[in-house]
Structure 1
Amino acid sequence: MELSAFETIADTTLGSYAEIIDEAIGDVADVDFQSGILTIELDSGGQYVINKQAPTRQVWVSSPVSGASHFTYEDGVWRATRSDDVLAEMLSKELTDKTGVTVAL
């Protein structure tokens, strides 16, 4: 994938996630998206850091639940490099489980 396409897709995805997550759980989390890095700090403890890695054309995730994961863009979704996990589904489930509020990405 060309760098410009990667940058556009990654920024659009993470920006959209930031808006949806902030709207859903902004009362119980601090959600921040700056310079290609999405940070979600839960009031109950735990922090997610999701950022784009241009050299590898991946999105990297640090999760207090599932640990570190790398995702590549395939067939319209960000899919984990070591499993069949889809980023949107993983984040939705983890954030919903951690907060008790439905997060639908």
Structure 2
Amino acid sequence: MADIPFESLADSLLAALEEGIGSRTDAELQGGVLTVEGDGGIWLVNKHAPTRQIWLSSPRSGARHYAFDSGTGQWRDTRGGDDLLAVLSSELGIALAWRAP
């Protein structure tokens, strides 16, 4: 994936997450890093341009890296795990949705 499509996808995802999560709990997007303060701690979601991944730091599931799967339109765990939205939805108790632009 080229840099420009990655930046566009990642920025779109982070903005959608901020909007979806921010209606239920404290979420702030600044400089490509989304900080979510919930009952169980602090989640950090950020774009990592050198690897073209989204990185998640979670107080529940630890650190994970997600790469965009153009076939499914999802950000998939690079270690064969779940979709990023499924993980965040489960951990935060918030239904989240996003579609690739």
How many residue pairs end up in the alignment? 94
Give % identity. 47
Superposition pairs of residues 1-105 of structure 1, within 5 angstroms: 1-23=1-23, 25-26=24-25, 30-42=26-38, 44-74=39-69, 75=71, 76-96=73-93, 103-105=94-96
The root-mean-square deviation of aligned C-alpha atoms, in Å, is 0.9
Greater RCO, CA 8 A, separation 6+: 2
CA separation of 1:91/1:45 partners in 2, compared to 1, >3 Å: closer, same or farther? closer
Tell me which amino acid in the other structure corresponds to 2:7: E
Per the alignment, in what secondary structure is the counterpart of residue 79 of structure 1?
A: strand
TM-score normalised by structure 1 residue count = 0.86
| Higher Cα Rg, which structure | 1
Tell me which amino acid in the other structure corresponds to 1:51: N
The offset of 1:45, in angstroms, is 4.3
Tell me which amino acid in the other structure corresponds to 2:8: T
C-alpha separation in 1, matches of 2:40 and 2:50: 31
The runs of at least 4 consecutive aligned structure 1 residues that moved more than 4 Å come to none
Deviation readout 1:41-75 (Å, 9 max, x if unpaired) = 12x34100000000000000000000000000002
The offset of 1:84, in angstroms, is 2.8
CA separation of 1:56/1:64 partners in 2, compared to 1, >3 Å: closer, same or farther? same
Per the alignment, in what secondary structure is the counterpart of residue 8 of structure 1?
A: helix
